[in-house]
Structure 1
Amino acid sequence: MRRNALSKAMITPSDFVGRWNIARVIDDKHAGGQAHFAGTALIACKDKDWVYSETGVLEISGIAPMQAERTYLWRPDDAGFDIFFDDKRFFHRFDLDQESQARHWCDPDQYEVQYDLSKWPSWQSTWIVLGPKKNYVLKNRYSLSETTVD
Structure 2
Amino acid sequence: MIALADLEGVWRLDRQIEDRRAGLSGLLEGEAVWQPDGTGLTQIETGLLRYGDAAPMQATRRYLWREEAGLLRVYFDDGRPFHELTVAAPEARHVCPPDIYDVRYDLTGWPDWSARWHVTGPRKEAVITSRYRRRTGAVSVRGAG
TM-score (norm 2): 0.91
SS of residue matched to 1:92: strand
Structure 2: runs of 5+ lacking an equivalent? none
Q: Does 2:142 align with 1:139?
A: no
Alpha-carbon distance in 2 for matches of 1:87, 1:38? 25
Q: CA 1:85–1:27 in structure 2 vs 1: closer, same or farther (change >3 Å)? A: same
Report the aligned-residue RMSD. 1.4
Deviation at 1:78, TM superposition (A): 7.4
Shift of 1:76: 1.9
My pick for the range that moved more, 80-89 or 134-143, is 80-89
Tell me by how many angstroms 1:129 deviates: 0.2
For the 8 Å contact 1:25–1:138, the answer to whether it is kept is yes
Q: CA deviation at 1:102?
A: 0.4
Q: How many equivalent residue pairs? A: 140
AA of the residue aligned to 1:69: T
Residue identity over aligned pairs, in percent, reads 39
Deviation >6 Å, runs of 4+:
none
Partners of 1:78 and 1:24 in 2: how far apart? 30
Displacement of 1:50 in angstroms is 1.7
Counterpart code for 2:104: Q
Structure 1, unpaired ranges of 5+: 1-9
- Quick check: 1:18 aligned with 2:9? yes
Segment of structure 1 superposing worse, 77-86 or 124-133: 77-86
TM-score by length of 1: 0.88
